[in-house]
Structure 1
Amino acid sequence: MLMTLCLASFSGQAKGNLETSGDALHIALPAAALVAALTVEDDYQGTWQLVQAGVSSRLAVEALKWGVDKQRPDGSGDDSFPSGHTADSFAAATFINQRYGWEYGVPSYIAASYVAYTRVASDKHHVEDVLAGAAIGMLAGWYFTDPYEDISIIPLANNGTYGVFISGRF
């Protein structure tokens, strides 16, 4: 299902409308995560985790947009930092990755990266705007999402030490 939504979104690019394809994928990725949580799982635990990640990510984005007065590259407003489209997409991609594994996470991160690319390519954001949006979305996704099958992969960065923490029941 996710692949179908992604392909439908990419068809917007073939028509020459890069921004529209990114906008569509920005909606499709969280929608696919919601559909997966509602159909794959027996309870609403995943749905609740997705809502928490998405809402917290969006609240952080809106607070920063309100507090940081940064013009968009196309001059259409002073709410360029950070990118909400990118934060929403990366929160959903991180939820999918954390909840259901890398086989679904990698395509989701590719789709989220495409959304970020379209925001820069359509002059709606600067590169630093989408990088901040991606970081906010990923942090929210990592914080609120537990793995569906008790396996967790978490990147670590602390005082110059970097690594990956993997936990689960084997």
Structure 2
Amino acid sequence: MEKWSIIFVCACFFITIACCSQDTEGGHEKWEYVLEDTGDVLQLALPLTAGLMTLINRDYKGTKKLAFSYGTTMALTYSLKHFTKKERPEGRKLYDSFPSGHTSSAFSGASFIQRRYGWSYGVPAYLLASLVAVSRTEAPDGYHDFWDVFAGAAIGIGSTYIFTKPYQKEQMSLGFSTYQNTYSLSFLYKF
């Protein structure tokens, strides 16, 4: 899997959203709606990409670790929303602002990609997750403030680091050595 494939897939989503984006209304520019729609797509695209990466690499332990970390992220996010009851900044009298669910979902996927498969995949994934965070504060309605998206990112990254370790292909090696009239055969299995 090429490291830039993540960017290519997300760019296709962005182009599709840009073409189908809502018209301007209420004094907002079209790019604000494109940004909001992009955040909506990427919040799910990043964790799905992480899951696809585990399946493509036949990393079934990684699939399990992703399920635990993503499940923890979402459970903690929605529990905090329920208990904190922070009002959303756009003024609709909704009390579920803290933390941002979109941001925690995106950063959970991005941090899993980085933690499991390295920074060459992680950098583009984190850039896309950061775009989701920006979309939650700068979209037409401004659904969240800085602390909401910061907490969402921290929850997503933190839960990933609790459950996930870097990916190593299972490796076996067979060795043979002789010393004087003694022969030895060694078998090493790395997991």
Q: TM-score, normalised by structure 2?
A: 0.74
Name the SS for the 2:73 alignment partner: helix
Alignment partner, residue 3 of structure 1: 7
CA RMSD of aligned residues (A): 1.7
Alignment partner, residue 135 of structure 1: 154
1:92 lines up with 2:96 in the alignment? no
1:24 to 41, 44, 47: 41
Cα offset for 1:13?
Answer: 4.9
Percent identity, aligned pairs only? 41
Name the SS for the 2:96 alignment partner: coil
2:65 to 49, 58, 62: 49
1:79 lines up with 2:96 in the alignment? yes
Distance 1:58 1:93 in 2: 14
Alignment partner, residue 163 of structure 2: 144
Alignment partner, residue 184 of structure 2: none
Distance 1:107 1:149 in 2: 21
Cα offset for 1:116?
Answer: 0.4
For 1:71, give the aligned amino acid: E
Alignment partner, residue 35 of structure 1: 52
- Assess if the C-alpha contact under 8 Å between 1:9 and 1:22 holds in 2: no
Alignment partner, residue 103 of structure 1: 120
Work out the number of aligned pairs and report it: 150
For 1:146, give the aligned amino acid: K
Alignment partner, residue 173 of structure 2: none
Name the SS for the 2:167 alignment partner: coil
For structure 2, the residue ranges without an aligned partner over 5 or more in a row are 22-29, 170-189
Name the SS for the 2:161 alignment partner: helix
Q: TM-score, normalised by structure 1?
A: 0.83
Distance 2:119 2:95 in 1: 37
For structure 1, the residue ranges without an aligned partner over 5 or more in a row are 151-168
Larger Rg: 2
